[in-house]
Structure 1
Amino acid sequence: MKADPKDQRRLLDVQAIDTALAQLAHRRRTLPEHAELEALARELSALEDERVRAQVAVDDLDRDIARLERDVEQVRVRKDRDQARLTGGSGPARELEALQHELASLNRRQSELEDAELELMEQRETAQGVLDGIEQRLVAVRERRAETEQRRDRSLAEIARDEEFRAGSRQPLVADLPGDLVALYDKIREASGGLGAALVAGGRCGGCRLELYGADRARIKAADPDEVVRCEECRRIMVRTAESGL
């Protein structure tokens, strides 16, 4: 293939834009905010699991406290009824004595229930403190996530603007170049990790960085200026200038 040497040199301008676009794409994929958000998502998930367990613990204690309160109320009602009968003083002496024993038993039962309820209420206070602490941590992590998302979005918007500018600069350059030259360049670039054309400098291929020796160097040196020369090693287009050292 033949192409005007000026067109071959302009391929380097296109390559510079394509390299910058590839770097921008890499930057988009590897923004530190992506990793931060993944870590925050895992942290939030773990905290949500902790919150659920802590809420279940509080709910279980609430249920147990409510049950004890009902039991205490039942004892109180029964005590009030027995006390009224005892105060009334009606009935056989044996029955009144039995009421006194039952009142004593009910007093002990009420005391036991109230002690148990007090212990559960203390446990609930502790459990609520754990739950409140987890919810505070959740709020803090969600705030960090929101801040990280804002940073990510700002970076992505900046990358998008830069890509738009560079893509806009590429289009007129490519439009002025021969179609077959651009097609060859694009094909090589796609197959060679993003580099389709490279400058020969100091007798070295700018693509693979290998020094040109012997017959390969003589072949390139002898090629007409409008000949599109490719490296034998990396197969990229080698753009020659007066500073190529051939």
Structure 2
Amino acid sequence: MKASAKQQQALLVMQKCDTALARLTYDAQHLPEHEQLRELKQAREVKTREIASLQANLSDYRREASKVANDVERMQARIEVLNQRLDASAGSPKELANMQEELDNVTARLDLVMEKQWEGDDELKKQQAQIDSIRTESENLSQQINELTAKRDAQIADLQSQAQPLIDERKAHMVIAGPELTREYDAIRKSTGGIGAVALRGRSIDGMSVQFTPAEWDRIRKAPSDEVLVSEDHEWIMVRVDD
């Protein structure tokens, strides 16, 4: 492939931009807030499940409490009727004796049921208090999540603002490099995992320790300036720059 020195050198600017953009992308993906948010959301999910379970139990208790309350009301009504009849001596001695016996039995049962009602009310209060406590914890977690999300989003926005000038600079140098050379560079960069072009200064690659075989160095030395050199060992485009 042929390309002017200016076109080839545009690749070095594109590589600089791509390396910086990759670093910014990595930073955005590895913010500590990501893991912190995951843990907080998991904790909130646990609280949500706990509340749902306790509310189901609370509904069962309320249904039972409603039954007990109905029993209390029914027995209190019966006691009132029996007391009225006994006070009025409405009935024969035998009937009155039976009514007194029933009254004693109903009163005894009422005492037991009311005790159960008090215990149930106490348990209802305890469960509701537990639900309220867990709900408060869940709300606190939600607040932390909101605050941390805002912090994370602000950091990502800052990284994006840093990325935009690099994107613009890359686009400008893509125009200089031209579509064919840009496609070749992008294909190589994808194949190597990030490096598409390197600066060849004399017999050295900037920032790397690379040894050329005599045969490859002879190929590089003899290549015309407009020839796009690709490393035989590493696949990179080697852009020749002045010493």
TM-score band, normalised by shorter chain: 0.7 to 0.9
CA gap 1:92/1:211 in 2 versus in 1, 3 angstroms:
same
- Alignment match, 2:212: 212
- Alignment match, 1:167: 167
Structure 1 unmatched ranges of 5 or more = none
Alignment partner of 2:177: what SS?
Answer: coil
Q: Which whole-Å deviations, capped at 9, do the CAs of 1:63-105 have from their partners, x for residues lacking one?
A: 2112111111111111111111111124222222222222211
Cα shift at 1:200: 3.3
Q: Which whole-Å deviations, capped at 9, do the CAs of 1:160-193 have from their partners, x for residues lacking one?
A: 3222221112222232335443332223223222
- Alignment match, 1:135: 135
- Alignment match, 1:149: 149
Cα shift at 1:57: 1.5
CA distance in 2, matches of 1:129, 1:233: 70
Cα shift at 1:207: 8.7
Cα shift at 1:52: 0.9
- Alignment match, 1:119: 119
- Alignment match, 2:15: 15
- Alignment match, 1:71: 71
- Alignment match, 1:233: 233
Answer with 96-105 or 37-46: which moved more: 37-46
Report the TM-score when normalising by structure 2: 0.88
- Alignment match, 1:106: 106
CA distance in 2, matches of 1:72, 1:4: 99
Amino acid at match of 2:120: L
Report the TM-score when normalising by structure 1: 0.87
Alignment partner of 1:89: what SS?
Answer: coil
CA distance in 1, matches of 2:204, 2:156: 37
- Alignment match, 1:85: 85
CA gap 1:120/1:199 in 2 versus in 1, 3 angstroms:
same
Answer with 151-160 or 106-115: which moved more: 151-160
Identity within the alignment, %: 28
Alignment partner of 1:195: what SS?
Answer: coil
Structure 2 unmatched ranges of 5 or more = none
The number of aligned residues is 243
Alignment partner of 1:176: what SS?
Answer: helix
Amino acid at match of 2:63: R
Cα shift at 1:112: 0.2
Give the alignment's Cα RMSD to 1 decimal: 2.4
